[in-house]
Amino acid sequence: MSRGSFVFTPTALRSLKLDEDMLERYKYKKQLASHHLNSYMVKREPPLRSSTARPPTVCQDVVVHNAVYTGDLEAMQHLFPKGSIANLIIEPRGGEMRWVARGEGLWSLTYEQELTTPIHITSSRGFTDCLRLLLQRGANVDLAPGGTTALHESCENCQSECTKLLLSHGANPNAVSEDGLMPLHLCTSPESLECAKYLLQYGAEINGCTVDEDDTPLHAAARNGLIDHIELYLRYGAAVDKRNDVGLTPLNAACSQPQELQDLERYLKVCQMLLGAGADIRTTDQDKHSPLHMACKNVNPDIVDLLLAKGASVNDMDYGGEAPMHNILKVVCYKVSHHPERVVRALLNHGSIRVWPGALPMVLRHCSISPRTIEVLLNVYSHLKVNDTWVESVSEEVFKEHKEFYESVFALERTPRSLQHLARCRLRTFLDARVHKVVPKLDLPTFIKDYLLLECRGYVH
């Protein structure tokens, strides 16, 4: 038996068999990306190269490695004098370990190596002068021993000067990596904007799709909330309603992306730009999730207001039979700082379905941490059957923190709703889905209009 192997139990062997199947599927994806390579490349004449150009050789010289990885231009000028060839492949030492099949049912742990080249290293690290030297010494600008070109590396690491230099030396702006990505798909941060500009100037395909997900650069920009990228791509004619393999358009992708509090305004601007460019507000993904479903799930009140103002349907159901109201109520406890009550209020004012009264204790249990949300929900009912189950649904900690509000709720067990509230319910029932349109036009004091539109007061009556 090999020193690098050991006997596995039947359970472990079955597990390794699953891993082997997964590796085979991964290899198939790589072959698929390679198969589609030509269809994603702009047809153009290859750059002229010397007829005496030699194939790249593997370099294991530590001195060369150190010079390349540290960007030591003086050392590299000494190592690559005029007339020399810098067409090298480097195999870094180390890396992550993985199980590799060795035949005869035996597996061993082996370091996973990714081949690279000096121009990959210098491009990814922004060593522009070193990169220029290597290109002058005949380095193959489109060589991809590890599955990506140097251009992919420079764009992924936002090295705009290296990107420009590679493109000026004939790098293919539409080269497809082993993972099925073009360089433009790797421009996923604000700092990559200059790289994206250079790629488009040199002929990058604005609607080129990734092999696996069928994403366009506009999908990537929308998903990452890149306002300047979106403006750039739209100027170059990006397809605003292109669907990916799961049916997401760029607008859907932006709305579905999880958003922290500091990201809300940025994603609102993204949605405004896409809608301004003609994005379809009713497009759903393969699970029939609309942009409104997704915006409610991520609790972005401004995007919800924007979508509703543009005519989004408030009661469309997804394949699971859930409307946007379901999506917001499921995440209230995680997104209190996002003001979920604004989303709930907007949905109700546009005619959303209400929670079944019998399910209110369950909603109270999950959403009690946001009393403002509970207040909005309760104020669309003319009568409530408050009982001990309601009291038990609010934890002692939450009750202590919001004592005045929950005392007003529990008091409804002995007290009917006020006449003022009943009048509000009657008017809202009459107006139905027109509440948001009609109430602002009424000749009434502002505080009464706010009351009719379910603005919070900190108690129920």
Instruction: Please list, in sequence order, all residues whose beta carbon lies within 8 angstroms of the beta carbon of residue 247, skipping any fewer than 6 positions away.
Output: 283, 284, 285, 286
Ranges of beta strands (E only) in 73-208 are 88-90, 97-103, 106-111
pLDDT of 48 = 35
Q: What is the DSSP letter of 447?
A: H
CA 140 to chain CA centroid, Å, is 34
Structure tokens at 168: 């000026």
* Amino acid, res. 9: T
Structure tokens at 178: 């082993």
Higher-confidence position of 399 and 101: 399
Residue 421: CB atoms within 10 Å: 17
Q: Domains in the chain, ordered, with CATH?
A: 1-24+59-205 (1.25.40.20), 207-351 (1.25.40.20), 354-461 (no CATH)
For residues 215-243, give the mean pLDDT.
Answer: 97
Q: What are the distances in angstroms from CA 82 to CA 405, 446, 451?
A: 80, 80, 80
For residues 187-205, give the mean pLDDT.
Answer: 97
* Strand 57-59 with 106-111, pairing: unpaired
pLDDT of 380 = 96
Report which of 252, 222, 224, 225 is spatially closest to residue 238, judged by C-alpha positions: 222
pLDDT tens figures, 280-337: 999 999 999 999 999 999 999 999 999 999 999 999 999 999 999 999 999 999 999 9
User: Which three-class secondary structure state does DSSP give residue 103?
Assistant: strand
pTM above 0.75, yes or no: yes
What is the share, in percent, of the chain residues with pLDDT greater than 90? Answer: 76
Confidence of residue 99 (pLDDT cuts 50, 70, 90): low
pLDDT tens figures, 15-52: 556 666 665 655 555 554 444 444 444 333 333 333 34
| Out of 46-60, 147-161, 280-294, 418-432, least confident range | 46-60
CA dihedral 409, 410, 413, 416 (to 10 degrees): -30
pLDDT of 4 = 41
